[in-house]
């Protein structure tokens, strides 16, 4: 229920910390489950054996930030992923269990390492992160590995994977030996290597992996996860080492701005749309190109969600005028999008052999969101709270219009043409 407050110029919504944690975990799961489907051009039956499974890093960061709720997000992620890919029932449950086990082992190892009573020479343990030579090498290896995976070089040569693994191990061992860094050794063994190896062995044992594929399956899963966790994952580990947890106490009462709720709901809707399109197998083999409209919508909506926590109008004398001017900016920008949409629909009807029904639905959604962004233009000048909420709603529908527009354009590009 919306709560008014004299100290605030926006509506507030109260909920328990348990509910807030649950909704955060659900949103993380929806976004995280989509990423590997978009970044990998082909889906294997044993999808976790893909050479680039960046989900493992995202979920590792989640358990650092949200502790046990990161594990909950992991369970939701694998359930959603298995459902969308329509995995066989046995593989669906086994895959969910072994991957959740992997994340849980990482969390336990992280919890153990942070509590070791040993002298720590690492700067990040003192709250300082800097771009050392070692960190620079890690970033370079990760970016190179990402590029190689995106170009699909693993399809013809698995030795590329072994080379990246060897280089990562080599620079890690050098770093450990030079600085006698036991913490890095523990991280490399108990977070980056052993959880993935154990989870892979469990998957092999319960998923009926063909005998002739066991070695390749184990190497791909274990070595690729090690590369990602030891490079990209270790960078985040350093950045977040001294940061506090971000989850709420379950019995606490949280007062959340209505604008934050609006951006959360919009993010949920946007990811549900993409998940539904995946479930319909609409993207086919063009997954990677659809990463960009999905990322565009998520980045803009996520940033607005984060920034909605701050109130820049706190010291503004005329708050109504401050919010109204920002709403007008949104309206002016949306008018250009409506013009583009009005041209795109007849152009697509002229060029395309058959307009896919889902494309027509997206056009309708696009026009609907754009019109909503400019529809309401008057609010009583005494109602600052509603003006602030209206500014948020106009921004949400404006961002939806941009995201749906980009998605529609890409669909037109990859649809069969006349002639």
| Span 281-287, average pLDDT | 69
Rounded CA gap, 128 and 239, in Å? 8
- Where residue 406 falls among pLDDT bands split at 50, 70, 90? confident
Tell me the whole-structure pTM to 2 decimals.
0.84
Give per-residue pLDDT as tens, 321-379.
Answer: 777 777 777 777 777 777 777 777 677 666 666 677 787 888 888 888 888 887 666 66
Same-domain check for residues 341 and 395: yes
What are the pLDDT digits (tens) for 120-157? 667 777 777 888 899 999 999 999 998 888 776 655 55
The pLDDT score that the predictor gives to residue 1 is: 38
Q: Which two tokens stand for residue 195?
A: 């959880």
Distance CA 297, CA 341 (A): 17
Contacts of residue 225, Cβ cutoff 8 Å, sequence gap at least 6: 53, 56, 192, 196
pLDDT interval class at 47 (50, 70, 90): very low
Q: In this model, does residue 389 exceed pLDDT 60?
A: yes
* 263 and 218 part of one domain: no
Shared domain for 24 and 129, answered yes or no, is yes
Q: Can you give the length of the chain in residues?
A: 419
| Sequence-ordered list of residues with C-beta below 8 angstroms from that of 94, at least 6 positions apart, any chain | 202, 203, 206, 207
**Do 397 and 277 share a structural domain?**
yes
Q: How far apart are CA 259 and CA 15, in angstroms?
A: 15
Residue 234 domain-assigned? yes
Sign of CA dihedral 183, 189, 194, 195: positive
In order, the DSSP letters of 267-295 are: HHHHHHHHHHHHHTT-STT-TGGGHHHHH
> 295 and 162 share a domain?
no
The answer on 145 and 236 residing in a single domain is yes
List, edge to edge, every strand of the sheet that includes 2-3: 2-3, 12-16, 253-257
Cβ 34 vs Cβ 278: under 8 Å: yes
pLDDT at position 6 over 50: no
- Residue 377: its pLDDT value, please? 64
More confident residue, 364 or 262: 262
Distances (CA, A) of 7 to 77, 139, 144, 314, 321: 39, 45, 51, 9, 18
Number of domains in the chain: 2
Arithmetic mean of pLDDT, 402-412: 85
Based on the domain organization, do 25 and 137 belong to the same domain? Answer: yes
Asked if residue 173 and residue 282 are part of one domain, the reply reads no
Is 68 a domain residue? yes
- Looking at 1-10, 89-98, 232-241, which range is the least confident one? 1-10
265 and 203 within one domain? no
CA trace torsion 113, 193, 73, 46 (10° rounding): -170
Q: Is residue 250 part of a domain?
A: no
**Do 213 and 79 fall within a single domain?**
yes
Are 53 and 202 in the same domain? Answer: yes
Query: Domain for residue 345, yes or no?
Result: yes
Alpha carbon separation from 167 to 140, 157, 163, 172, 314 (Å, rounded)? 11, 17, 6, 9, 52
Q: State how far the Cα of 153 lies from the Cα of 407, in Å rounded to an integer.
A: 28
Residue 207 CB neighbour total at 10 angstroms: 17
**Strands, E assignment, 68-203:** none
In which domain, by residue range, is 267 found? 259-413
Q: Is residue 246 part of a domain?
A: no
Residues 190 and 308 in one domain: no
Output DSSP code: residue 248: P
């Amino acid at each position: 229920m919306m709560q008014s407050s004299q100290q605030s110029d926006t509506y507030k919504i109260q909920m328990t910390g348990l509910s807030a944690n649950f909704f955060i975990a659900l949103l993380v799961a929806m976004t995280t489950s989509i990423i590997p489907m978009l970044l990998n051009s082909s889906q294997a039956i044993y999808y976790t054996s893909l050479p680039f499974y960046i989900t493992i890093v995202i979920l590792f960061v989640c358990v650092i930030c949200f502790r046990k709720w990161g594990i909950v997000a992991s369970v939701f992620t694998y359930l959603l992923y298995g459902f969308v890919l329509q995995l066989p029932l046995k593989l669906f449950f086994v895959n969910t269990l072994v991957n959740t086990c992997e994340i849980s082992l990482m969390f336990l190892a992280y919890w153990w390492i942070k509590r070791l009573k040993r002298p720590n020479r690492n700067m990040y343990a003192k709250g300082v992160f800097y771009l050392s030579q070692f960190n620079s090498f890690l970033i370079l290896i990760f970016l190179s590995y990402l590029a190689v995976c995106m170009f699909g070089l693993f399809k013809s040569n698995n030795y590329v994977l072994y080379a990246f693994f060897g280089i990562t191990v080599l620079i890690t061992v050098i770093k450990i030996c030079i600085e006698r860094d036991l913490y890095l050794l523990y991280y490399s063994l108990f977070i980056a290597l052993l959880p993935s190896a154990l989870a892979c062995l469990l998957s092999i044992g319960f998923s009926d992996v063909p005998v002739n594929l066991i070695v390749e399956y184990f190497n791909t899963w274990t070595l690729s996860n090690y590369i990602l966790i030891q490079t990209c994952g270790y960078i985040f580990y350093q950045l977040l080492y001294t940061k506090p947890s971000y989850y709420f106490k379950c019995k606490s009462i949280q007062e959340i701005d209505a604008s934050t709720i609006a951006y959360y709901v919009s993010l949920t809707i946007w990811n549900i749309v993409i998940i539904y399109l995946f479930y319909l197998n609409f993207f086919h083999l063009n997954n990677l190109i659809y990463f960009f409209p999905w990322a565009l919508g998520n980045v803009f909506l996520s940033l607005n969600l984060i920034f909605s926590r701050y109130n820049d109008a706190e010291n503004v004398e005329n708050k109504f005028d401050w919010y109204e001017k920002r709403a007008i900016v949104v309206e002016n920008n949306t008018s250009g999008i409506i013009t583009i949409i009005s041209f795109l629909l007849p152009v697509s009807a002229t060029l395309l052999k058959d307009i896919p029904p889902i494309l027509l639905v997206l056009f309708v959604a696009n026009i609907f969101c754009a019109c909503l962004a400019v529809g309401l233009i008057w609010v009583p000048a005494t109602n600052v709270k509603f003006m602030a909420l209206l500014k948020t709603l106009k921004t949400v529908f404006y961002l939806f219009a941009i995201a749906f527009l980009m998605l529609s354009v890409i669909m037109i590009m990859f649809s069969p043409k006349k002639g």
